[in-house]
Every structure is written in structure tokens, then in C-alpha cells.
């Protein structure tokens, strides 16, 4: 199988697809899956028709490739709709990376309510992360939020995170630590096992840096967010639900 890197508009991809058009059948999906696995050593997570007739979308580890109907060429690139100026590949990547709230163990998070708490967010955060502390200040300013904070000790901060989840009042200790950067000493507790679960969850979701914010529609944002960005993303999320 040849590997080619292409970035094409729908017009140029249509020309490629016209020579390899094929009906969407289960045997076709199986054929492409076997060929891709033979070439890459990995079984595709999914194979489906792409927006371009005759071109197939192949997903491996949330990465998108495209294949012709004969599974002879694997195309690495993006599909752009030149009429609407939409990056269709980017839209699919966003869809694949959406996180399902119903599948998340919110009981393992530190729940903080600002104001009425009518709007909801999830944040993967760390006690040793300056940007996480700045984000908490902006969340407080935005207000009317319920924020589920998953302690995610990836910055040599396991001990600080343990102190927070083991505190007699984890919410107060978390907020105090976000304000001061200091976490008081506390004894050992069985609840510290939540940190291992959080790390496993974050790795499964592909949380590679913090802070990471997950919105109600499952979309995510990594890094410090201004109050304006928080409000904009909440509005966009509400519109998509």
C-alpha cells in the first residue's frame, strides 16, 4: 500500500474518487479493514464512506485517513468543501474527540458551585499548575457554574493532589490551594485511590496537557481560557446540544 500525503478540495478529491467508486457494502468495509491492518499493523476503529463519492474514511486511534475503494492507496490529509469553505476532516476529528458526559465518573471529581451553578463544566486540573489556578479565577468570575474538577497530578504534584482529596473538606482545600498555591499537610486516606482512576481516565480521553476543559456538548479546550472565551464556548456548546 502506498502512503500519500494530500490536502485537497472536494473538487480534486472527486476526480480521484471517480476512478475508484464502489458501492457501500459490508464486504467492502471488510476488504478495506483487512488491507489497512495488513499495511499498518493496526485494525481500524471504523471504516465508512467519506463525503467524497468513492473515497472511504478510515479511523485508527482517532486519526483519520482516507482510502480508495480498492484499499491500494491510503491518503493522509484533509477534505475541504470549496463551496462552503468548511474543513470536513476537522469537523470529523472534533466529532470523534467529543466526550460523553454520561460515561464520566463525576463522583471522582471535586464539585465546585459558583453562584446558581446552572451551567456545567468539567476541568482536568493540577495543584502545581499556574494556568489551572488562573483558570479557576476566571471560572469564578464567569459565575453561575457547576464545575467538576478532576485532580490530574501530572506535574510532579501527586502529594499536593493527595492532600486535597484527603482533606476533611476537599472543596474548601481545593479552592484555597487555587488561590494561594499552598496545600496544608493531611494524613493518609483511602480516597487517594481516586487519583489513579483520574490518571487512567485522562489517558483514555487523551488529556495530554492541563488545564483541560470539557463542555456540555463534549467538546474540549486545552489551556487557559479568558472569561470571554469561557462564555463563548458555553454558548456554542448550548447551541450544539
Q: How would you class 207 by CB atoms within 10 Å of its CB: exposed for 0-12, middle for 13-18, buried for 19 or more?
A: buried
CATH code given to domain 101-240 = 3.40.30.10
State the CB neighbour count (10 A cutoff) for residue 71. 21
Instruction: Note if the bond before 211 is cis, omega within 30 degrees.
Output: yes
pLDDT of residue 127: 87
> How far is Cα of residue 100 from the mean position of the Cα atoms in its chain?
10
Contacts of 36 (CB under 8 A, 6+ apart): 1, 42, 43, 44, 47, 58, 60, 65, 67, 71, 74
Give the residue among 169, 157, 90, 101 at the shortest CA–CA distance from 125.
Answer: 157
Residue range(s) of every CATH 3.40.30.10 domain in the chain: 101-240
Query: Can you give the pLDDT at residue 17?
Result: 44
Note the CATH architecture for domain 2-96: Roll (3.10)
pLDDT by position in tens, the chain (length 241) = 444 444 444 444 444 444 444 444 578 899 899 988 888 888 999 999 998 888 999 998 888 999 988 888 888 889 998 999 898 888 888 888 889 999 999 999 999 999 999 999 999 999 889 999 999 999 999 999 999 999 999 887 899 999 999 999 999 999 999 999 889 888 888 888 999 999 999 999 989 899 999 999 999 999 999 999 999 999 988 887 6
List where CATH 3.10.450.70 sits in the chain. Answer: 2-96
CA distance 126 to 118: 24
**Which of 155, 152, 147, 156 has its CA nearest to residue 196?**
152
pLDDT of residue 23: 43
Q: How many CB atoms neighbour CB 46 within 10 A?
A: 12
Look at residues 108, 170, 117 and name the one whose alpha carbon lies nearest to residue 147: 117
> What pLDDT score does 5 carry?
43
Contact between 218 and 98 (Cβ < 8 Å): yes
Interatomic CA distance for residues 25 and 36, integer angstroms: 17
Beta bridge partners of 165: none
| pTM for this predicted structure | 0.72
Amino acid at each position: 500500500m502506498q502512503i500519500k500525503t494530500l490536502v485537497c478540495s472536494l473538487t480534486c478529491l472527486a476526480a480521484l474518487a471517480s476512478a475508484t467508486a464502489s458501492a457501500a457494502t459490508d464486504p467492502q468495509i471488510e476488504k478495506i479493514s483487512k488491507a489497512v491492518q495488513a499495511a499498518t499493523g493496526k485494525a481500524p476503529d471504523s471504516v465508512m464512506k467519506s463525503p467524497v463519492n468513492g473515497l472511504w474514511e478510515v479511523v485508527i486511534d482517532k486519526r483519520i485517513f482516507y482510502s480508495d475503494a480498492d484499499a491500494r492507496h491510503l491518503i493522509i490529509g484533509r477534505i475541504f468543501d470549496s463551496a462552503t469553505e468548511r474543513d470536513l476532516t476537522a469537523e470529523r476529528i472534533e466529532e470523534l474527540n467529543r466526550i460523553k458526559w454520561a460515561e464520566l465518573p463525576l463522583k471522582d471529581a471535586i464539585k465546585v458551585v459558583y453562584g446558581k451553578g446552572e451551567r456545567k463544566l468539567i476541568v482536568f486540573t493540577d495543584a502545581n499548575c499556574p494556568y489551572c489556578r488562573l483558570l479557576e479565577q476566571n471560572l469564578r468570575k464567569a459565575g453561575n457554574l457547576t464545575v467538576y474538577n478532576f485532580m490530574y497530578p501530572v506535574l510532579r504534584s501527586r502529594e499536593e493532589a493527595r492532600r486535597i482529596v484527603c482533606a476533611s473538606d476537599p472543596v474548601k482545600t481545593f479552592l484555597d490551594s487555587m488561590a494561594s498555591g499552598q496545600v496544608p499537610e493531611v494524613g493518609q486516606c483511602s480516597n487517594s485511590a481516586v487519583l489513579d482512576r483520574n490518571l487512567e481516565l485522562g489517558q483514555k480521553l487523551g488529556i495530554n496537557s492541563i488545564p483541560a476543559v470539557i463542555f456540555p456538548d463534549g467538546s474540549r479546550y486545552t489551556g487557559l481560557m479568558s472569561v470571554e472565551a469561557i462564555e463563548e464556548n458555553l454558548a456554542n456548546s448550548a447551541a450544539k446540544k
